[in-house]
């Protein structure tokens, strides 16, 4: 039986590349989207035309009811969820003195609460089966913090703490929980930076390049594979050596 992966935030960027990679590796892929319905449906059509198994599922991950409904739909269609990849995330740049309380809470609602909702939704199924893998998305800024990204950095640091706690709690149930903390990656999230800023970042990276969504997708795939069956509670940071 094919394994099933549910990927949040899978209509664009890293999530989209991850959906493609897992589908081509033979997984049944549930493509979660919030606002990018057309992009998600186009990805589903692309993958199914290639003989892959894929479906789109809508949910704003910050909305608990929508997340639980999404998981129910995936389980109805695919019967089980073997891997949950909590990839959905948002960023907000600026001085902390300029942030409103709403700005702060919106970051945490997606980046942290979204993981909490998704994990709680899939856990009864995974615990019943005594198997499963949960992969969360942090950032290098969750490891070291970034100037003018206080809310984002704090939320991504919280993801790391949550991941490590869950690994200890869920290990006896046969569930591995790990975290991926990417460096700068060519997605919409860095599209607002100037070419000069990106070039400076590239030159500060030992491998002298910005990451691609495919780089991060491959890390997700490794953690989902049997090669990582004895890995849990870890933070893997594909960042080109920017943080060592």
Pick the catalytic residue: 27, 33, 78, 152? 152
pLDDT at 13 over 90: yes
Q: Across the chain, what does the average pLDDT equal?
A: 95
User: According to the model, what pLDDT value does residue 173 have?
Assistant: 98
Contact 30, 55 (CB under 8 A): yes
pLDDT band at 89, cuts 50/70/90?
A: very high
| pLDDT tens profile 61-78 | 999 999 999 999 999 999
Residue 21 lies in a domain: yes
In angstroms, rounded to a whole number, what is the distance separating the alpha carbons of residues 38 and 33?
10
**What pLDDT does 234 receive?**
98
Short-list 97, 88, 78, CA closest to 3 = 78
Q: Decide if 27 is catalytic.
A: no
Instruction: DSSP for the chain, please give it.
Output: ---EEEETT-SSHHHHHHHHHHHHTT-EEEEEESS-HHHHHHHHHHHHHTT-EEEEEE--TT-HHHHHHHHHHHHHHHS---EEEE-------S-GGG--HHHHHHHHHHHTHHHHHHHHHHHHHHHHHT-EEEEEE--HHHHH--TT-HHHHHHHHHHHHHHHHHHHHHGGGTEEEEEE---SBSSGGGTTS-HHHHHHHHHHSTT-S-B-HHHHHHHHHHHHSGGGTT--S-EE--STTS--
Give the pLDDT confidence of 105-141 residue by residue, as tens digits.
999 999 999 999 999 999 999 999 999 999 999 999 9
Matching residue, tokens 């993958």: 47
Residue 216 domain flag: yes
Q: What is the pLDDT of residue 77?
A: 97
Distance from C-alpha of 71 to C-alpha of 87, rounded to nearest angstrom? 15
Q: Is the pLDDT of residue 235 over 80?
A: yes
pLDDT (0 to 100) of residue 201: 81
Phi, psi of 186 (to 5 degrees): -75, 85
**Within-domain flag for 244:** no
Q: Is the pLDDT of residue 188 over 80?
A: no
Tally of domains within the chain:
1
- pLDDT category, 7, cuts 50, 70, 90? very high
Confidence of residue 146 (pLDDT cuts 50, 70, 90): confident
Tokens of 183: 């460096």
Residue 219 covered by a domain? yes
Euclidean distance between the first and final Cα of the chain, in Å? 39
Contact (CB, 8 A) for 10 and 19: yes
Residue 137 has what pLDDT?
98
In a domain, 242, yes or no: no
The fraction of the chain above a pLDDT of 70, given in percent, is 100
Using CA atoms, how far apart are residues 35 and 196, in angstroms rounded to an integer?
30
Question: pLDDT-derived band of residue 1, with 50, 70 and 90 as boundaries?
Answer: confident
> Can you give the pLDDT at residue 2?
92
> Residue 35: pLDDT above 80?
yes
Reported as a pLDDT band with limits 50, 70 and 90, residue 147 is: confident
Residue written as token pair 């030159």: 203
- Residue 212 included in any domain: yes
- Report the distance separating Cα 80 and Cα 34, nearest Å: 22
Quote the pLDDT of residue 187.
81
Cβ(214)–Cβ(186) under 8 Å? no
- The verdict on residue 104 lying in a domain is yes
CATH number of the domain residue 32 falls in: 3.40.50.720
Provide the pLDDT for residue 184: 87
Identify whether 241 is part of a domain.
Answer: no
Q: Which residues lie below 8 Å from residue 127, measured CB to CB, with a gap of 6+?
A: 170, 173, 175
User: In which domain, by residue range, is 98 found?
Assistant: 4-236
The pLDDT value given to residue 179: 98
When pLDDT is averaged across residues 210-221 and rounded to a whole number, the result is: 96
């Amino acid at each position: 039986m094919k394994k099933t992966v549910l990927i949040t935030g899978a209509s664009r960027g890293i999530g989209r590349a991850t959906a493609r990679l897992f589908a081509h590796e033979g997984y049944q892929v549930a493509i979660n989207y919030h606002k990018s319905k057309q992009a998600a449906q186009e990805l589903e059509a692309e993958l199914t035309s290639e003989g892959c198994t894929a479906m789109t599922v809508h949910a704003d991950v910050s909305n608990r009811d929508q997340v639980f409904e999404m998981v129910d739909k995936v389980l109805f269609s695919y019967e089980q969820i073997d891997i949950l990849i909590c990839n959905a995330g948002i960023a907000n740049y600026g001085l902390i003195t300029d942030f409103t309380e709403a700005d702060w809470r919106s970051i945490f609602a997606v980046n942290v609460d979204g993981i909490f909702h998704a994990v709680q939704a899939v856990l009864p199924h995974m615990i019943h089966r005594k198997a499963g893998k949960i992969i969360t998305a942090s950032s290098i800024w969750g490891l070291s913090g970034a100037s003018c990204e206080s809310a984002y950095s704090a939320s991504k640091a919280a993801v790391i703490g949550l991941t490590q706690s869950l690994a200890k709690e869920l290990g006896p149930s046969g569930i591995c929980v790990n975290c991926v903390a990417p460096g700068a990656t060519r997605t919409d999230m860095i599209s607002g930076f100037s070419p000069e800023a990106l070039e400076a970042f590239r030159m500060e990276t030992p491998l002298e390049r910005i990451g691609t969504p495919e780089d991060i997708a491959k890390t997700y795939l490794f953690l989902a594979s049997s090669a990582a069956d004895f890995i849990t509670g870890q933070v893997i940071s594909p960042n080109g050596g920017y943080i060592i």
